[in-house]
Chains A and B, each alone.
Chain A
Amino acid sequence: MAETTTIVLVVFLIGAGCIIAFMTAVALSSLGKPLPQAEVSRMGYAARKWWARILGVAVIIAFAVSVPWFPYSGAKVLGSEQHFKVVAQQFSFTLPPSVPSKTPIVFDVTATDVNHGFGIYDPAGKLVAQVQAMPDYVNHLRVDFTTPGKYVVRCLEYCGVAHAQMQSSFEVQ
């Protein structure tokens, strides 16, 4: 999990670089010898057919690949999982002091006053899981911890004056 965002950042930067390079090249082409518009259109429409296919396939693949990783189904009752109640309020969390590792954990997350976010950061400081903490509702967040240590919890939904200080932690044993 920890590395995902690094990969995302790298993918984004490479993608952005390619987009910028390509569009700059197109812009620079206007400094050279001009081509009649009919000619450009013919080439452009032919190329667009492929571009459309690539985009379409990319979208379908990305969607299909992402579905098994959705965080929702994991919260279903497994039978063997351990439930822990998490309550958020301005500006603190009520948490279990420790949870076991290598056991399916389900956090039953709610809030008493306003919306908060329950964001779990691993001992290395990476955001590993999150869910909204809402009044009147309980969200079930499934996490399987593999590394023991101190996990920091931060509020990830703006909730008022001490939002940035709304922090707590628990031990994974």
Chain B
Amino acid sequence: MTRRGIAWTLGIIAVLASVIPAFAGVDEPIAIHHLDHSGLVLLGAAAAFFVRDPSAKGSPASGARWLVLTVLAPIAMMFVMWPSLYDYLDAHASLHALEHLVLAALGYVAVAAGERYVRGVGATMGVLMFVMAVLSAAGYGVMKP
């Protein structure tokens, strides 16, 4: 498969994985829910990774706006993963689907912008965002088991 093909596949999976569980109405503990989100972020990030132009290397001499996007995306992700909203979202499927799409999009933006800035920066940020979401499951809105 071409890079573009992989990216499209990942993107479609990300959309399906965002929408279907939201409408399936599953009721999960917050920790598991965070983990689901980490998967969505990773899908978005991976799609961006395959979209990038493999020959473009980028340069730190310019591209400030890309850098700013890649730095702000993880913070935005943490705010979107607001634990006390999860109950509400479980009851409102379309908002929930939208939240999921935003998370996947943030993963996408962080990697796409970072790779656009300098190759390697976006991939690093994508991995770190995934780690952030996974670590959240251990204590963000979550009490000791």
A residues with a Cβ closer than 8 A to B are 136-137
**Which B residues from 100 to 145 make CB contacts under 8 A with A?**
143-144
> What 3 A-B pairs are tightest by C-beta distance, nearest first?
A136-B144, A136-B143, A137-B144
Residue of A nearest to B143 (CB): A136
Nearest chain B CB to A137 CB, angstrom units = 7
User: Chain B residues near A137 (CB, 8 Å)?
Assistant: 144
Nearest chain A CB to B124 CB, angstrom units = 31
B: contact size bracket? under 10
Q: How far is the CA of A124 from the CA of B65 in the complex (A)?
A: 63
Q: How far is the CA of A136 from the CA of B144 in the complex (A)?
A: 8
Flag B38-81 by CB within 8 Å of A: 1 or 0 each. Answer: 00000000000000000000000000000000000000000000
Q: How far is the CA of A137 from the CA of B139 in the complex (A)?
A: 14
Nearest chain A CB to B145 CB, angstrom units = 11
User: Chain B residues near A136 (CB, 8 Å)?
Assistant: 143-144
Residue of A nearest to B144 (CB): A136
Q: How far is the CA of A137 from the CA of B144 in the complex (A)?
A: 9
User: Chain A residues near B143 (CB, 8 Å)?
Assistant: 136
Q: How far is the CA of A42 from the CA of B34 in the complex (A)?
A: 57
3 A/B residue pairs, CB under 8 Å, sorted by A: A136-B143, A136-B144, A137-B144
Q: How far is the CA of A137 from the CA of B145 in the complex (A)?
A: 11
Q: How far is the CA of A136 from the CA of B142 in the complex (A)?
A: 12
Q: How far is the CA of A100 from the CA of B143 in the complex (A)?
A: 36
User: Chain A residues near B144 (CB, 8 Å)?
Assistant: 136-137
Nearest chain A CB to B139 CB, angstrom units = 11
Nearest chain B CB to A5 CB, angstrom units = 34
Q: How far is the CA of A137 from the CA of B143 in the complex (A)?
A: 11
Q: How far is the CA of A78 from the CA of B37 in the complex (A)?
A: 44
Q: How far is the CA of A137 from the CA of B16 in the complex (A)?
A: 40
Nearest chain B CB to A81 CB, angstrom units = 25
Residue of B nearest to A136 (CB): B144
Q: How far is the CA of A30 from the CA of B69 in the complex (A)?
A: 51
Q: How far is the CA of A136 from the CA of B139 in the complex (A)?
A: 12
Residue of B nearest to A137 (CB): B144
Q: How far is the CA of A136 from the CA of B143 in the complex (A)?
A: 9
Nearest chain B CB to A163 CB, angstrom units = 25
Nearest chain B CB to A109 CB, angstrom units = 16
Nearest chain B CB to A113 CB, angstrom units = 16
